[in-house]
Amino acid sequence: MDLATVIGMLAGFGLITSAILMGGSYQVFWDIPSILIVIGGMIAATFIHFSLGQVLRIAMVLKKTVLYRLPAEQALVQQMVNYAAINRRDGALALEQYIRDIKDTFLMKGLQMLIDGQKEEAIEKQLSLDIQYLQERHADGKKMFEFMGSAAPAFGMIGTLIGLIQMLRTLDDPSKIGAGMATALITTFYGAALANMILLPMAGKLGIRSKKETMVREMVVEGLLAIARGEGPTAVREKMQAFVSAAHREELKPKV
Amino acid sequence: MDLATVIGMLAGFGLITSAILMGGSYQVFWDIPSILIVIGGMIAATFIHFSLGQVLRIAMVLKKTVLYRLPAEQALVQQMVNYAAINRRDGALALEQYIRDIKDTFLMKGLQMLIDGQKEEAIEKQLSLDIQYLQERHADGKKMFEFMGSAAPAFGMIGTLIGLIQMLRTLDDPSKIGAGMATALITTFYGAALANMILLPMAGKLGIRSKKETMVREMVVEGLLAIARGEGPTAVREKMQAFVSAAHREELKPKV
Amino acid sequence: MDLATVIGMLAGFGLITSAILMGGSYQVFWDIPSILIVIGGMIAATFIHFSLGQVLRIAMVLKKTVLYRLPAEQALVQQMVNYAAINRRDGALALEQYIRDIKDTFLMKGLQMLIDGQKEEAIEKQLSLDIQYLQERHADGKKMFEFMGSAAPAFGMIGTLIGLIQMLRTLDDPSKIGAGMATALITTFYGAALANMILLPMAGKLGIRSKKETMVREMVVEGLLAIARGEGPTAVREKMQAFVSAAHREELKPKV
Amino acid sequence: MDLATVIGMLAGFGLITSAILMGGSYQVFWDIPSILIVIGGMIAATFIHFSLGQVLRIAMVLKKTVLYRLPAEQALVQQMVNYAAINRRDGALALEQYIRDIKDTFLMKGLQMLIDGQKEEAIEKQLSLDIQYLQERHADGKKMFEFMGSAAPAFGMIGTLIGLIQMLRTLDDPSKIGAGMATALITTFYGAALANMILLPMAGKLGIRSKKETMVREMVVEGLLAIARGEGPTAVREKMQAFVSAAHREELKPKV
Amino acid sequence: MDLATVIGMLAGFGLITSAILMGGSYQVFWDIPSILIVIGGMIAATFIHFSLGQVLRIAMVLKKTVLYRLPAEQALVQQMVNYAAINRRDGALALEQYIRDIKDTFLMKGLQMLIDGQKEEAIEKQLSLDIQYLQERHADGKKMFEFMGSAAPAFGMIGTLIGLIQMLRTLDDPSKIGAGMATALITTFYGAALANMILLPMAGKLGIRSKKETMVREMVVEGLLAIARGEGPTAVREKMQAFVSAAHREELKPKV
């Protein structure tokens, strides 16, 4: 899970929890029916909006994009440079023994194709298709988070309306108006916190993450194709660095 | 009706109904005049916005896109591959007897043209036109749902304003303010629930469904044209699978 | 006036009037100063936003686009096909006597140019220019309705703020707070009803109407040019039907 | 100042003033600190958003675009036609004596370049650049008005929040709550009136004015270039009229 | 720091502070927990939305773009013209001694490359890349400020909801409702002031600043390339002025 997300989530929940605890009793903020109506309503609307496949895929996308740690660019360049040297010296078959150490399935798949002696064009076509699948899944995920980020406050408001109407209808003792109003407002609070603390920022993160993951994948493809063409370590290093996005190239330069 | 929509609708209505029942009397939430002003006002505005033809067509679009079950891609590919084999072995006329088993009118129409010996170009032109009609109807339907999704909360607010003004005007007994306010807020609740639970998610679903239906139709056209050219089962299978969108190709591959 | 607009307007006003009457006294909803501030303020802002010419033209645009009945496509095709036959048999001059029966000024102008023996290019250029004027006027009208649809609720809110401030300032008898608030809310009600019942849906209708009117005009131009080239009835029919938008072509086919 | 703006401003302020006076005392609506916080805050935010040069230029843009009267198109065409005739008969130097009667600095500059014997290309380049400057200044002005139109209601809300917090904090006599609330709401009223009565419509007007002024300037350039090429009055008239936008061409035609 | 930003910030804070002080006690507006929830929540959401690198880079971007004073365009042109003269007379090496007086690192880097005898293409490629990095950082910064400008009011509302719920829950003494409401509203005030006074205008300023800084950098590149090609002072001056944006060219012209 990327560090900024962890920091942000912990800090955000810490702050809101502190604000609640400082005000006294936290129990009023824990209301199962209110959670059900906001989160349940949001999920129901998401099922109506998207197809079943898209909804079920979102968990996988989240796990893959947020928990999965992208290989460090510099280490990746070095790794590919080593493969290029081995390929030059001992041929592609000698790379077989390195495959089991690779954790990244995308690189593993590409290297296996290379060892299997597949042609450069076949490798490029297959891996480009995989990158395209990845981007489609990311885009679906981003759209879904944005939709949920607009549905959560809407169901928060619906919950508050239900609470208000019930409270006002049976209003005979004005001294109880406060408690009823407090309960009614809980769903609005849930919806606002959920959308602004998690859903909308996560939609943004998915977009940024998608851009970065695509870039790393394209760098790997570039390196694999150079190795497949039998190019040497220096050429592989140069080709891969040219693919690093401008912002990161600057950081990489002095160190490589 | 696609499964996700059914699940979402049932879950959403279940949740809102539970929330209402848990709060006690449900009668206050059932108010015919309020339903009339929100739904009636929304429909009236829709009539002013769109043409009569567009409004009347929406029911048909909804029935066709939501209730109608798209043929499974894999089964469809297999079916067309069979037709190609029959066409190769016994000629197009031998396909005549299979037509009565086809439930999809689009495929039926295309196959009939093929059996009638129409030229490849004529089949392509006619079916492409049919796909274009379909997309126009879907786009109209999506725009109409989006408009209704913004009109429903607006008429909810208008209903609440009418209720509030009447209640405040005749306010002499402050103890009745609660009941009056509750009644006034019902229309806001109807508008918000209608828009966020049904109209806006359905607009999204129509867009996703339109993309998928177009893809399936184009796959059928691709297969029919290959058969019309007298290509064999293998070529038909490959052509049709190339038309399957990236996301679905992955799922299809291992199984076919 | 197109039927959907009439139905929508009547239904909408009927609903809102019923809702008001069911609540008791309707007098509170009829407040001249409130009408003045919402409608007057909206018109004033429209004058500042647009040029004098654009504002004055809007009435004409409305009359022409909403009240004016578009000639039925099928009848129009038949009419042009007749002209083509007469032109073939008796020459263009024989069409002179049919001009006085034409109610559509656009068709009349085009046919007159044809009878006057003007060249095909001159007719096309002039009529295309007329269509372009039409679209510009429609687009201006749509933008103006959209602006008024956002100005009306804004002036409704301004009116309510004025009412609230006056009421709160002189508040000494809490029992009168209800009546003052009711009066203050009237302008918000006017603004919301005006925008959502009339202005915003009418902006949508103008856009749809503009698209349809342009299509009919282009069909007429296509037919006139074919007649000017001396083509026969069959060619004119085919050319005109090819110009009918996809959605309408389907309906026309079986009948012609 | 163009007529529609004058009419709109007078009518708008008249309406709001009447609404205030009808409600009784107008004094509550005149609150210097509230004016300071809304207008001052809006101007402060505008300084942070834009550069000093842009902010200072806005006054000049406003004066030039709104107060400055565009030369009537028809008169302008006639004027240029006369220049073309004189230029043909007596040569460019004979135009010298007409320069001092020209009020429009743009036309004056162009005509002076023509008399000075500058080449057609030089005149076109210089005047096109001047038109480009004009459009940039107009676009900056429009963006600034739009920003101010969103900042004014925001500072109105900030002022109301300050007033509400102070009033609620020191609330011991419930009978004073009305007066405090009234004062707090004044800033919201100022922000809403300022944005919807002046800033947002003026942003629209600047856009429309910019389009029209550009068109007139381009027509002048077209005429000057024709004269520079030694073309006769008829050619100049035709060239200039072809540059008039479609909407205006219609009005010009019958009269010229 | 550019002057307009300083003026705007001082004026804005002065106005808000005055408004608060005029209303009496300022203490109620200074509430550490409220500051924590609005600013902390906003920063937490920003961490979740953006990557760690982007968040950490924002401080640097801000310092560089707002505090850093852009070299005056005219002085810059004169400076480069001098370098061109020296380069012509004494060769590139003679420029060495001027490098230590340059404060702008971008110009320094370019001049050093020129003195080192690097080729025109190499200089252009490197400096264009640096400009591209700059624009990416600016665009990231602008997006981040816009996100924070929407997150701050959202967390202000969340804080107010927490305060309201706690206050209403424990409401037994109606006379304390004012004080509780005042405290709850503080976070809304912080969010609105932060967004409209600082974050949103600063996002606008970053965009305008980015456009201007890019223009100055491109002008420097143009001048350096001309010097590298051995062109004389006049050619350098002309080339650089052609790069000045239209709006500024007008101001420069009369003086150079």
ipTM here: 0.82
Q: What pLDDT, on the 0 to 100 scale, is given for residue D61?
A: 77
Q: What pLDDT, on the 0 to 100 scale, is given for residue A155?
A: 96
More confidently predicted of D176 and E7:
E7
Is D205 near chain C, with CB under 8 Å? yes
> What are the chain A neighbours of E51 within 8 Å (beta carbons)?
2, 4, 205, 208-209, 212
Is B62 near chain C, with CB under 8 Å? no
Of the pLDDT bands very low, low, confident and very high (cuts 50, 70, 90), residue B65 is: low
More confidently predicted of C82 and C22:
C82
Helix locations, B104-232, DSSP H: 105-115, 120-169, 177-193, 200-228
Q: What pLDDT, on the 0 to 100 scale, is given for residue A174?
A: 66
Mean pLDDT for the stretch of residues D155-169: 92
Mean pLDDT for the stretch of residues C116-129: 89
More confidently predicted of A227 and D174:
A227
Cβ separation B24–A170 shorter than 8 A: yes
Helix locations, chain E, DSSP H: 3-22, 32-35, 41-49, 52-62, 73-90, 96-99, 105-115, 120-169, 177-193, 200-228, 233-243, 246-252
Share of chain B above pLDDT 70, in %: 90
Q: What pLDDT, on the 0 to 100 scale, is given for residue A68?
A: 66
From A191, A241, A235, A199, select the one nearest A219 (Cα to Cα): A241
- Tens digits of per-residue pLDDT, C173-225? 666 777 888 889 999 999 999 999 999 999 999 888 888 888 888 889 989 99
- Tens digits of per-residue pLDDT, A12-61? 999 998 888 887 777 888 888 899 999 999 999 999 999 888 888 887 77
Mean pLDDT for the stretch of residues B29-35: 89
CB D239 within 8 A of CB D222: yes
- For residue A192 the two structure tokens come to 């606002």
**Element of type H or E holding C190:** helix C177-193
Q: What pLDDT, on the 0 to 100 scale, is given for residue E93?
A: 87
DSSP secondary structure of A124-186: HHHHHHHHHHHHHHHHHHHHHHHHHHHHHHHHHHHHHHHHHHHHHHT---GGGHHHHHHHHHH
Within 8 A by CB and 6+ apart from A190, the residues are A34, A35, A38, A39, A152, A156, A159
- Give the C-alpha separation, D2 to D67, whole Å: 7
- For residue A85 the two structure tokens come to 């040297």
Q: What pLDDT, on the 0 to 100 scale, is given for residue D244?
A: 63
More confidently predicted of E159 and B183:
E159
- For residue A256 the two structure tokens come to 């490589």
How many CB atoms are closer than 10 A to CB A160?
A: 27
Q: What pLDDT, on the 0 to 100 scale, is given for residue A255?
A: 34
Task: Fill in the DSSP letter of residue A191.
Answer: H
CB A24 within 8 A of CB A142: no
Cβ separation C8–B48 shorter than 8 A: yes
pLDDT for residue D82 is more than 80? yes
Of the pLDDT bands very low, low, confident and very high (cuts 50, 70, 90), residue C256 is: very low
Is E75 near chain D, with CB under 8 Å? no
Within 8 A by CB and 6+ apart from A77, the residues are A219, A223, A237, A240, A241, A252, A256
- Which range is least confidently modeled, B228-232, D56-60, E130-134, E185-189? D56-60
pLDDT for residue B66 is more than 80? no
Q: What is the pLDDT along chain A (256 residues), one digit of tens a residue?
A: 578 888 899 999 999 988 888 877 778 888 888 999 999 999 999 999 998 888 888 877 777 666 666 777 888 888 999 999 999 898 888 888 888 888 888 899 999 999 998 889 989 988 998 898 888 888 888 999 999 999 999 999 999 999 999 888 876 666 677 788 888 999 999 999 999 999 999 999 988 888 888 888 988 998 999 999 888 898 888 888 776 654 454 444 433 3
Is A6 near chain B, with CB under 8 Å? no
Residue type at C61 in one-letter notation: V
Mean pLDDT for the stretch of residues B191-215: 91
Is B169 near chain C, with CB under 8 Å? yes
From A181, A191, A147, select the one nearest E157 (Cα to Cα): A191
Within 8 A by CB and 6+ apart from C245, the residues are C215
pLDDT for residue D49 is more than 90? yes
> What are the chain C neighbours of B129 within 8 Å (beta carbons)?
246, 249
CA angle B123, B128, B132 (to 5 degrees): 155
> What are the chain C neighbours of B51 within 8 Å (beta carbons)?
2, 4, 205, 208-209, 212
Share of chain A above pLDDT 70, in %: 90
- For residue C236 the two structure tokens come to 């004119």
pLDDT for residue D63 is more than 80? no
- Tens digits of per-residue pLDDT, B90-145? 888 889 888 888 888 889 989 999 999 888 998 998 899 888 888 888 888 899 99
Is E168 near chain A, with CB under 8 Å? yes
Give the residue carrying structure tokens 């909360």: B153
- Give the C-alpha separation, C228 to C119, whole Å: 8
Q: What pLDDT, on the 0 to 100 scale, is given for residue B11?
A: 92
DSSP secondary structure of chain D: --HHHHHHHHHHHHHHHHHHHHTS-SGGG--HHHHIIIIIHHHHHHHHHS-HHHHHHHHHHHIIIIISPPPPHHHHHHHHHHHHHHHHHH-GGGGHHHHTT---HHHHHHHHHHHTT--HHHHHHHHHHHHHHHHHHHHHHHHHHHHHHHHHHHHHHHHHHHHHHHHHHT---GGGHHHHHHHHHHHHHHHHHIIIIIIHHHHHHHHHHHHHHHHHHHHHHHHHHHHHTT--HHHHHHHHHHHS-HHHHHHHTTT-
- Give the C-alpha separation, E79 to C159, whole Å: 60
Q: What pLDDT, on the 0 to 100 scale, is given for residue A203?
A: 93
- Tens digits of per-residue pLDDT, E1-41? 578 888 899 999 999 988 888 877 778 888 888 999 999 99
Give the residue carrying structure tokens 């912990």: A10
From D217, D237, D216, select the one nearest D84 (Cα to Cα): D237
- For residue D96 the two structure tokens come to 């010298």
Task: State the maximum Cα–Cα separation within chain A, in Å, rounded to a whole number.
Answer: 89
- Give the C-alpha separation, C27 to B247, whole Å: 61
From E253, A14, E124, select the one nearest D126 (Cα to Cα): E253
- Give the C-alpha separation, E210 to E222, whole Å: 18
- For residue E190 the two structure tokens come to 């912080």
Task: Fill in the DSSP letter of residue C198.
Answer: I
> What are the chain D neighbours of E175 within 8 Å (beta carbons)?
172
For chain E, 256 residues long, the average pLDDT of each consecutive 10-residue run is: 82 90 81 92 94 83 70 84 91 87 87 90 89 86 94 96 88 73 92 95 90 87 90 87 57 39
Cβ separation D158–E189 shorter than 8 A: yes
CB E213 within 8 A of CB E70: yes
Is B92 near chain C, with CB under 8 Å? no
C-alpha distances (whole Å) from B225 to each of B77, B248, B252, C12, C42 are: 14, 22, 22, 51, 59
- Give the C-alpha separation, A196 to A193, whole Å: 5
Range from A251-255, C78-82, D38-42, D180-184 that averages highest in pLDDT? D38-42
Residue of A nearest to B245 (CA): A133
Q: What pLDDT, on the 0 to 100 scale, is given for residue D66?
A: 66
Q: What pLDDT, on the 0 to 100 scale, is given for residue B177?
A: 77
